[in-house]
C-alpha cells in the first residue's frame, strides 16, 4: 500500500479517516454574497471572513506539496424562495492529473443541489495534491433562484465537483492510494528479534523449508532434534533453519539465528536469543474504523496487518536505526484539552512481569510504578501525559458491554493497552469468536497483560453451632477476587500476580508531525 509522501501533516490526520469527523478542517473558504443577482446564497466556514463581488466571488486555498486538506463549507439561503447552487473550483498552478478534488458525502449535502428558503446546508471537500510543489485552488459558489430549472452559467474555466466519497473506508483508500486485492495473503518478517524464547527441554522440530497458507506455517519434512544438538542448527548465509518449536505447524515461525545455552540448577537451558519472526496476515482484513468508547468517538487500526508501524523511543532522533518499532493503536480524545492524541504500543514485548501482588487498581499497581519510574523512554518530548480512566469489569464476562470506567484523574506517561483496544483492533463486529479475535494485529502470540481490571465476587456459606442442642445457623461471606485481563488468541481473566508479557503504551502529543514513511513494516512512519 503506497501512501502519499506526506510532509508536515499532523499524524492524527495521516493515520485515520478522522479528517472528516474530528472537525480538523482548514480555515479556508469563507464566502458571503450580498446583493448579487447571480449569487444569492452565502457560503462560509466558521471564521467569518467575507468575500463579495469585488474579489470575484471565490476563496483561494493552498495545499502543500504531496499533501491533502479538507474543508467544511456552510451554505446559507437567506431568501424566502428556493435557490439552486453549485460549488465550483479552479486550479491555478497545478497539473490537473495530479490534483484530485472530491466531495465527501458522509452526512453532508450535495455540492450541486437546491436549498429551501431560509435554510442552510453543509458540504465537505477533500483536495489531494500529488504535485511536487504547493498548489492554489480557487473555490467559489454559483447560485440563482429556482424557477423550475437550474441554469447557473458557470464559465468553462471553472469545474464542478463531480467525484464523491461515500464512506470512511473509501476515503482511507483514496488517501492511501489503496487497491484491495481479494484473498491476498502473505507474512511479515521481523528481523533480528532478541526477546528470549525458551526452547523445549527435550527436542524441537526443524526444517530448512516451510509452506504458508491461511495464516499458518507448516514445516516441510521436519527433523526431530534433541536438546544436545540444538547448537548445531543455527542459520548461516547459505542455510536457514526454521522451527515451530515442538510442533510441525504454527502461526508464528522462527528462523533460528542464534541459540544460547546456560546452566540453571544443573540443568541445561536453551534459548533463542536472536531470530527472525514470521507472522502471517490476510491483507483484506485490515484498515481503520470509527469506534465509540466511553461516550466519545475515536479511530482505531484493526485486522491482521494494517500499515501502522512507527519509529519511536530513539536514542538518536536523527538516526532511525537507533529507534524502536512501535505501532499505532489509533486516536483518543483527551477530554481535558479537547485534543485528539495518537496512541501507540511497542511492537514487541519487554521482559515479562506481574501486575501487582494483590490489587488490580492501576494507580497503585507494581507495573504502573515500574513503567513510569524505571522503564526508559528516550523520546520524552513527543510524549503526552493525559489523564486516563481505567477499564473495569465486574464478573467474568469479558465483553465491551460489561466495561465500566474507574475515574482515576491520574496523569500517566506509560501504561498498557485496554481490553477495548484489543477487541476493537480485531475484525470482530458483534460476536467475539476465536476466528475474528485471531484476526488481530495486537495478538502477539503471547499472553499479554492489559490494564483492564476484573472483580469477581463469590459467596461462601459457613455453618457454626449456636446452641447446646448443636443447632446451626448459616453465615454468608462475600469474597472479592481481584484479577486482570490477559489477551492472546483468547481473552481471559487471571490473578494479578500472574507473570505476563508486557507491551508499553504511550500517547504522542497532538502536534507530532510525520516527515516520511508509509506505515508499512518496511517503511515505518518517521516523526518530528
* Residue 153 and residue 218 in one domain: no
* Residue 394 and residue 449 in one domain: yes
* Residue 62 and residue 196 in one domain: no
Q: Which of 216, 279, 272 is nearest to 248 (CA)?
A: 216
* Residue 355 and residue 237 in one domain: no
* Residue listed under C-alpha cell 490534483: 99
User: What is the C-alpha to C-alpha distance for residues 186 and 293, in angstroms, rounded to an integer?
Assistant: 32
Tell me which of 237, 261, 282 is where a domain ends: 282
Pairing type for strands 339-346 and 350-353 reads unpaired
Highest mean pLDDT (candidates 116-120, 141-145, 289-293, 388-392): 388-392
Q: Which of 26, 24, 28, 27 is nearest to 11 (CA)?
A: 24
Q: What's the structural domain count of the chain?
A: 3
pLDDT attached to residue 45:
34
CB 78 within 8 A of CB 57: no
For 177-231, how does the pLDDT look when each residue is reduced to its tens digit (9 = 90+)? 543 333 456 777 877 888 788 999 899 999 999 999 877 899 999 999 999 999 9
Specify if 304 maps to a domain.
no
Q: Which of 303, 250, 307 is nearest to 422 (CA)?
A: 303
pLDDT attached to residue 164:
81
CB-count burial class (<10 Å; 0-12, 13-18, 19+) for 292: exposed
The answer on pLDDT for 321 being more than 70 is: yes
Specify if 307 maps to a domain.
no
Q: How far is CA 49 from the centre of its chain?
A: 36
Q: Which sign, positive or negative, has the C-alpha torsion 31, 33, 39, 40?
A: positive
Grid cell of 469 as nine digits: 442442642
* Residue 360 and residue 498 in one domain: yes
State which residues form the domain around 16: 9-176
Specify if 296 maps to a domain.
no
* Residue 159 and residue 58 in one domain: yes
* Averaged confidence pLDDT in the chain: 77
* Residue 384 and residue 469 in one domain: yes
User: What is the C-alpha to C-alpha distance for residues 495 and 498, in angstroms, rounded to an integer?
Assistant: 6
* Residue 274 and residue 349 in one domain: no
User: What is the C-alpha to C-alpha distance for residues 528 and 514, in angstroms, rounded to an integer?
Assistant: 6
Tell me which of 110, 145, 176 is where a domain ends: 176
For 377-431, how does the pLDDT look when each residue is reduced to its tens digit (9 = 90+)? 988 888 888 888 889 998 888 888 888 888 667 788 999 999 999 998 888 776 7
Computed over its alpha carbons, how large is the radius of gyration of the chain? 29
* Residue 268 and residue 352 in one domain: no
Specify if 390 maps to a domain.
yes
The answer on pLDDT for 64 being more than 50 is: yes
User: What is the C-alpha to C-alpha distance for residues 305 and 284, in angstroms, rounded to an integer?
Assistant: 9
CB contact burial 496-509 (16+ within 10 A = b; e otherwise): bebebbbbbbbbbb
* Residue 322 and residue 413 in one domain: yes
Higher pLDDT, 446 or 219: 219
| pTM for the predicted model, two decimal places | 0.54
* Residue 202 and residue 146 in one domain: no
* Residue 148 and residue 201 in one domain: no
User: What is the C-alpha to C-alpha distance for residues 428 and 412, in angstroms, rounded to an integer?
Assistant: 30
Quick one: which H or E segment has residue 368?
Answer: helix 366-373
Tell me which of 176, 208, 237 is where a domain ends: 176
The answer on pLDDT for 53 being more than 50 is: no
CB contact burial 359-375 (16+ within 10 A = b; e otherwise): ebbbeebbbbebbbeeb
CB-count burial class (<10 Å; 0-12, 13-18, 19+) for 223: middle
Query: Which pLDDT band holds residue 57 (cuts at 50, 70, 90)?
Result: low
Amino acid at each position: 500500500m503506497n501512501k502519499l509522501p506526506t510532509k508536515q501533516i499532523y499524524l492524527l490526520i495521516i493515520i485515520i479517516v478522522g479528517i472528516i469527523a474530528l472537525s480538523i478542517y482548514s480555515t479556508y473558504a469563507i464566502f458571503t454574497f450580498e446583493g448579487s443577482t447571480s449569487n444569492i446564497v452565502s457560503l462560509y466556514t466558521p471564521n467569518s471572513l467575507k468575500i463579495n463581488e469585488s474579489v470575484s466571488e471565490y476563496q483561494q486555498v493552498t495545499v502543500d506539496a504531496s499533501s491533502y486538506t479538507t474543508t467544511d463549507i456552510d451554505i446559507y439561503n437567506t431568501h424566502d424562495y428556493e435557490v439552486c447552487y453549485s460549488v465550483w473550483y479552479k486550479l491555478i498552478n497545478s497539473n490537473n492529473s495530479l490534483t484530485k478534488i472530491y466531495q465527501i458525502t458522509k452526512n453532508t449535502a450535495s455540492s450541486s443541489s437546491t436549498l429551501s428558503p431560509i435554510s442552510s446546508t453543509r458540504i465537505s471537500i477533500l483536495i489531494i495534491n500529488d504535485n511536487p510543489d504547493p498548489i492554489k485552488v480557487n473555490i467559489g459558489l454559483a447560485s440563482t433562484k429556482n424557477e423550475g430549472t437550474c441554469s447557473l452559467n458557470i464559465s468553462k474555466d471553472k469545474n464542478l465537483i463531480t467525484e464523491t466519497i461515500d464512506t470512511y473506508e473509501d476515503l482511507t483508500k483514496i488517501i492511501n492510494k489503496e487497491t484491495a486485492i481479494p484473498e491476498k495473503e502473505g507474512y511479515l518478517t521481523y528481523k533480528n528479534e532478541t526477546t528470549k524464547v525458551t526452547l523445549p527441554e527435550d527436542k524441537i522440530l526443524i526444517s530448512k523449508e516451510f509452506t504458508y497458507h491461511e495464516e499458518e506455517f507448516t514445516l516441510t519434512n521436519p527433523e526431530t532434534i534433541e536438546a544436545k544438538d540444538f547448537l548445531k542448527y543455527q542459520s548461516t548465509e547459505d542455510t536457514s533453519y526454521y522451527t515451530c518449536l515442538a510442533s510441525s505447524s504454527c502461526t508464528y515461525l522462527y528462523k533460528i539465528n542464534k541459540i544460547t545455552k546456560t546452566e540453571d540448577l544443573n540443568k541445561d537451558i536453551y534459548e533463542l536469543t536472536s531470530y527472525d519472526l514470521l507472522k502471517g496476515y490476510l491483507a483484506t482484513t485490515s484498515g481503520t474504523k470509527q469506534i465509540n468508547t466511553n461516550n466519545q468517538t475515536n479511530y482505531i487500526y484493526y485486522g491482521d496487518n494494517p500499515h501502522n508501524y512507527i519509529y519511536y523511543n530513539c536514542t538518536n532522533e536523527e538516526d532511525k536505526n537507533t529507534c524502536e518499532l512501535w505501532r499505532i493503536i489509533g486516536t483518543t480524545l483527551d477530554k481535558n484539552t479537547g485534543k485528539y492524541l495518537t496512541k501507540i504500543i511497542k511492537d514487541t514485548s519487554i521482559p515479562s512481569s506481574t501486575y501487582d501482588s494483590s490489587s488490580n487498581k492501576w494507580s497503585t499497581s507494581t507495573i504502573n510504578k515500574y513503567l513510569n519510574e524505571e522503564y526508559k523512554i528516550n523520546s520524552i518530548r513527543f510524549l503526552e501525559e493525559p489523564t486516563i480512566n481505567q477499564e473495569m469489569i465486574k464478573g467474568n464476562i469479558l465483553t465491551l458491554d460489561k466495561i465500566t470506567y474507574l475515574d482515576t484523574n491520574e496523569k500517566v506517561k506509560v501504561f498498557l493497552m485496554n481490553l477495548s483496544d484489543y477487541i476493537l483492533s480485531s475484525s470482530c463486529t458483534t460476536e467475539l469468536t476465536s476466528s475474528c479475535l485471531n484476526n488481530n494485529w495486537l495478538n502477539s502470540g503471547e499472553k499479554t497483560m492489559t490494564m483492564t481490571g476484573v472483580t469477581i465476587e463469590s459467596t461462601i456459606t459457613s455453618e457454626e453451632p449456636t446452641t447446646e442442642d448443636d443447632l446451626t445457623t448459616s453465615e454468608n461471606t462475600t469474597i472479592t477476587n481481584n484479577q486482570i485481563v490477559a489477551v492472546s488468541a483468547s481473552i481471559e481473566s487471571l490473578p494479578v500476580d500472574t507473570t505476563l508479557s508486557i507491551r508499553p503504551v504511550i500517547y504522542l502529543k497532538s502536534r507530532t508531525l510525520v516527515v516520511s514513511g508509509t506505515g508499512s513494516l518496511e517503511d515505518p512512519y518517521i516523526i518530528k
